[in-house]
Structure 1
């Protein structure tokens, strides 16, 4: 009996102390508040992809453990949660948050701590230097606003639409898009003949649209996320403005069509390929990844409550890239950060990622398509 106990003791002593310890990842999203329709399915996808990774053996035999919190869309709350992740939960990495404003409140905290943070926000400032602060440890999975603007401008150029009226939200995301449009427009031969703004919670934009119409643009561009985009679409129809309407890359979502109704017909916008998966050629390297994502999402039944939208794959891409980096470099912050930064040719749901020290997003214009609403469905625009 003593020999058996001695052998068991030796065996237990020989096991790595970390063998049974999960790798903690902090994950915070807007699970309540105005962007909960984005944050909640993002959380479900985060759980889905972690389950997939764990079923396939985890990271060198260690499972991933998500520690999930709700930012409520509040920058101050997001900052407090980030501190909890770092100093109480002692996570190896952070995924999220949902919106640019909360991302910017978190950025200086994670930068100081040096913990790799892969955000799922739309705006560029989180991975811009200069007045926006360093981004050594911060990455993001959605396309940069600048990439979406470029993709949209290429399409406008192709259609001979060179005079646009711009309508943008006054929040961080809207300002980011407007800044890039104003900066990049001359490169594409596009003139912004008028620019109006609105509050993201405003319920009527007829005054702004009326002002834009007076400037005689050839097309209207709206830069916002959430219900405001649908209100713009409806107000445009109510005013009888017969100009094509282009929305931003944050609005390819069945919810937009539901809210805008028939006013959504013909609207175009930049989008991830996820929204038109059935139209992708078999030669597209993203197609198999997108099909697997869709299969798992539908098997979970998530699509019944949260139909697929352009945001759906962002948490998948962020966690997959972090997990691959952990397999290569482990979980020590500096080694993990460097491995993430050296990600090359990672085929994700939202695009093929090639990160670098200067580009902590790694997606280009070829990761996006222009979609159009036809008969209440998103289709590839011609």
Structure 2
């Protein structure tokens, strides 16, 4: 090919490259870069959420809340003048996939701290790896064994099954209910609830007259409900995440099971209402205050941050946030608070997080060397499904 012909081909290619580079270099920057001071390197965090699979109704809002907060943090200048960057991975609601994801984030992406996962099983696997690698982890899983016993660098944002158990039992005692049946998922979340419900029953004068389990992917629980119907249980406690609890409620109505049904906070979201439909009327649930954000008293310490979060989330995604979105939001806020107190030095996070006090949308967190969850059952409420909505029980 002749020289002048080569130039004719090369010139438009070079021009296009220059235009492309100019477009990338100007205009809107990625959230991780926005607010970066002096071109400082970002603080790179990893997040493993259940974006697909049975736990996706938990993981998707968690990811959305974190993405929204990253933009806010970086728009305000980041942490110590450095932007925050979050790299996301999907554990597909699977324990093995969660461990694979966290290994990738640590070895390949070189993240300095971790958020996740959405479920207790995946989170427990992540915690084991994170502890061995000395990488701080804030989990969105509810199981008490995430932080009990306390492990260096492992924290969590949801209320535990201990908190939920005590809050439900307090309600049952007020109502004079002494005999209950349990129907819980056989996964780590449901099994954790079973352990706590068994442990604290005597303290509240409760007798468990039936214990049944189901598999996370089971399409029907009618056989377990039929057994429960044949007992003298005065209430049924269900512990699991959607769609299981919604299926149980619908089948219980079909079987004319007339005793109150009380669900754990694992299904405290709008997806439950969508799945259960009219059958959900009258179902009770233990939950955080975010579930009924419009019913929080103005003088409540959480009122301001809950309003800010709800308004921001609705503006970003045109939908009301649920408790799971709140777990992700609190998780990143706690991590950032720790980083601020550590002067941006992630190597100090394990120690610094144990001293963090933070009013979040889930509750008032007071971390300590003895408590890596920092919440109490007093920040939980009892709600009822009424007219297709969650209402605080008076």
Q: Is the structural similarity TM-score above 0.5? A: yes
Which of 347, 357, 363 aligns to 2:359? It is: 347
Aligned length: 359
Counterparts in 2 of 1:1-382, with a 5 A limit?
Answer: 20-129=40-149, 135-303=151-319, 307-344=320-357, 346-382=358-394
How far apart are residue 377 of structure 1 and its match? 0.4
Is contact 1:250–1:310 with CA below 8 Å preserved after alignment? no
How far apart are residue 310 of structure 1 and its match? 2.1
Deviations 1:234-275 (A, max 9, x none): 111101111110000111212111211111111111111011
SS in 1 for 2:286: strand
How far apart are residue 193 of structure 1 and its match? 0.9
Cα distance in 2 for partners of 1:115, 1:330 equals 17
Highest CA radius of gyration, 1 or 2? 2
Deviations 1:3-36 (A, max 9, x none): xxxxxxxxxxxxxx98520000001101111111
Which stretch has the larger CA shift, 288-297 or 273-282? Answer: 273-282
Is contact 2:59–2:324 with CA below 8 Å preserved after alignment? no
TM-score (norm 1): 0.91
Cα distance in 2 for partners of 1:334, 1:187 equals 42
Q: Which runs of 5+ in 2 are unaligned?
A: 1-36
TM-score (norm 2): 0.88
SS in 1 for 2:264: coil
Q: Which runs of 5+ in 1 are unaligned?
A: 1-16
Cα distance in 2 for partners of 1:244, 1:322 equals 39
Is contact 1:330–1:336 with CA below 8 Å preserved after alignment? no
Cα distance in 2 for partners of 1:173, 1:367 equals 20
SS in 2 for 1:68: strand
Is contact 1:19–1:61 with CA below 8 Å preserved after alignment? no
Is contact 1:114–1:333 with CA below 8 Å preserved after alignment? no
